Structure 1
Amino acid sequence: MRLLLTGSSGWLGRFLAPRLRAQEHEVVGLDVAPGADTGIVGSVADKALVDRVFAEHGIEAVIHAGALHKPDIARYPKQAFIDVNLTGTLNLLAAAVAAGNDRFVFTSTTSLMISETIRAGKAGGATRAAWLTEDFGPLEPRNIYGVTKRAAEQLCALIHREHGLPIVILRTGRFFLEEDDTHRDLSGENIKANEFLNRRLTVEDAAEAHLAALAKAPALGLETFIISAPPPFAPDEAEALLHNAPAVIIRHFPEAAELYARRGWLLPAQIDRVYDPTRAERLMGFRCGTDFAAVLGAIEKDEPLPFAHDPNYVSPKEIGEMERC
């Protein structure tokens, strides 16, 4: 299958492209930054370019993983998010419909599910951790990133209703490898390890989820899935997670405190949200392979951690910007 992969130079794209080729897909990479898997340098916001790529390469399916992300809020105006995340998505959807494609995979984000109220947790008056499934709502994204990704999801739903294009929307949890841009109370690796309890996955699992979505899209029609490592908790633990997360964690993993102490790490004092990815397993047959137990196993065996962390990582598009300046 001749497949257009947007964001092909990015962190996800560089893992996804080789896996697609291993399944004998012909991958056409489109990104604003050059890269090993990027054959076309340009923006999805450029409709003429998108239409030309479809016409010249005979595109049969799309994985739309390119976007401006949350850290970009500090670097780009709101209009840029609208141009790339919203108009760019519409350009791709329209081209896919015109080409008669039978599948479209859209990389969305769990971030759009988090309102300021959820983020505030106990300080905002919450009494329990938010247990988040695909049916959670109303959705009140708290920044331009979340707003544009939510609007792009709604565009996907509109195009499916109007034209029948099968679309799978993947609300992925965190899989970035750089430092968190808002939290500095723990080391980067400690933060990432903790997030496997409720909101993180590896980039390898993110890539595999996209492969599963690509294969299942024609049969699914229109579906939205949360993609995150399976949490060890149950909904009836949500209150305790917000007020005394370590006690709940140790109940599931008695060895966690001692293993964390080896590294000088701390368990989270509270967990304000839990993403539940069971729908993806039930309807798409996909389950992340790396979870919190795998993190503890690596520590116990003194093996490399099963996730990537690079505090010095700079995205390819930002490298390009710095070089142009």
Structure 2
Amino acid sequence: MRVLLTGSSGWLGRFLAPALQAAGHTVTGLDLAPGPETQVLGSVADRRVVDRAMGLGIDAVVHTAALHKPDIVRYPVQAFIDVNVTGTLNLLEAAKAAGHDRFVMTSTTSLMISEALRKNEGRREETPEAVWLDEQTGPLAPRNIYGVTKLAAEGLCRLHAAEHGLATVVLRTARFFPEDDDTLSQPSGENLKAIELLHRRLTVEDAAAAHVQALAKAPALGFGLYIVSASPPFTRADAAALKADAAALIRARFPDAETLFAARGWQLPKSLGRVYDPGLAERELGFRCHTDFAAVLQALRTGAPLPFAHDPDYSSPLARNR
């Protein structure tokens, strides 16, 4: 299949383009920033750019391009609407006009977190249990323009599937960025990423693989919206224990975890306030992340490289080219 990949110069795009090619697809990359996987330079917010890319002979779209949360300090609200909402609409309409039978869009679990939920995560007396988040969670009240526009883009995908028969899969991906968290300082760096693989992270390689699987499965699904995150080693029944004493529960599931962490100068979390549940993606999409928390511990035991990327100096090509 000839696939138009938007966001081809970004962190996900640089892994997703080769993954699509390995699956037998021919990839045309579209991005504002130049990159080795990008053939069309321009914005998805510009319908002329989208039409020019479609004119190269495209059978399906994988849409990863977006302004993200770190971009909030660099771009006005209108830019988020232009790229995340209008850009998605441009691609959907172009795909419909071209007679495509599938469309895949990257969304985010971030849009599921309201400001109230985020603030209350650390207050044990207000939220005595970790919040278990799945595709039925709602009503949704995204806390920033990034989440608001991605939720609107999801709605456009759902509408085009229902009204125009364009089979569409939306992937609400958990965290896979390589840089440090822009709000949390403790624990920092690799320690935080290792912890997040328990409940709110996946590797960029797994994110790419999920998109390849979604592209293959879309026509059979019609419309699908899925959380994609490393499978947590917990169940809903653990919600209270995760909030009260996450470290104790982790020690019970992984007896050597604390010792392995301590040898690297890391700490286990005292409390976890949320868990993303990827069960629906595993059941319907047939996708399960390859890398999980157990893989981190195995790397620590054997001295192998950590199974996730960490680059505190990373910045997106878009940010570097501003």
Deviations 1:37-67 (A, max 9, x none): 000110000011111221x212110000010
Give the Cα separation in 2 of the matches to 1:210 and 1:122: 33
Partner of 1:84: 83
Secondary structure in structure 2 of the residue aligned to 1:117: helix
Partner of 1:31: 31
Partner of 1:58: 57
Give the Cα separation in 1 of the matches to 2:310 and 2:242: 26
Deviation at 1:319, TM superposition (A): 1.4
Confirm or deny that 1:312 pairs with 2:310: no
Aligned residues: 320
Partner of 1:178: 179
Secondary structure in structure 1 of the residue aligned to 2:38: coil
For the 8 Å contact 1:118–1:273, the answer to whether it is kept is no
Deviations 1:113-155 (A, max 9, x none): 1112221214382121110111111111000000000010001
Secondary structure in structure 2 of the residue aligned to 1:274: strand
Give the Cα separation in 2 of the matches to 1:66 and 1:173: 16
Secondary structure in structure 2 of the residue aligned to 1:57: coil
Secondary structure in structure 1 of the residue aligned to 2:227: strand
The letter for the 2-side match of 1:39 is: Q
Partner of 1:72: 71
**Structure 2 length as normaliser, TM-score?**
0.98
1:140-151 correspondence runs (5 A): 140-151=141-152
The letter for the 1-side match of 2:57 is: G
**Structure 1 length as normaliser, TM-score?**
0.97
Give the Cα separation in 1 of the matches to 2:63 and 2:122: 36
The letter for the 1-side match of 2:309 is: A
Confirm or deny that 1:109 pairs with 2:95: no
Q: Which runs of 5+ in 2 are unaligned?
A: none
- Describe the shift of the 1:122–1:189 C-alpha distance in structure 2 as closer, same or farther (beyond 3 A): closer
Partner of 2:48: 48
Give the Cα separation in 1 of the matches to 2:188 and 2:150: 29
Secondary structure in structure 2 of the residue aligned to 1:223: strand
Confirm or deny that 1:10 pairs with 2:10: yes
Partner of 1:195: 196
Partner of 2:159: 158
What RMSD in Å do the two structures reach over aligned CA positions?
0.9
The letter for the 1-side match of 2:76 is: P
Deviations 1:267-304 (A, max 9, x none): 11111100010111111111000000000110111111
Partner of 1:288: 289
Return structure 1 stretches of 4+ with deviation > 2 angstroms: none
For the 8 Å contact 2:7–2:13, the answer to whether it is kept is yes
Give the Cα separation in 1 of the matches to 2:288 and 2:227: 11
Partner of 2:229: 228
Percent identity, please. Answer: 63
The letter for the 2-side match of 1:275 is: Y
The letter for the 2-side match of 1:48 is: R
Partner of 1:139: 140
Give the Cα separation in 2 of the matches to 1:292 and 1:196: 5
Partner of 2:21: 21
Give the Cα separation in 1 of the matches to 2:253 and 2:312: 30
For the 8 Å contact 2:23–2:212, the answer to whether it is kept is no
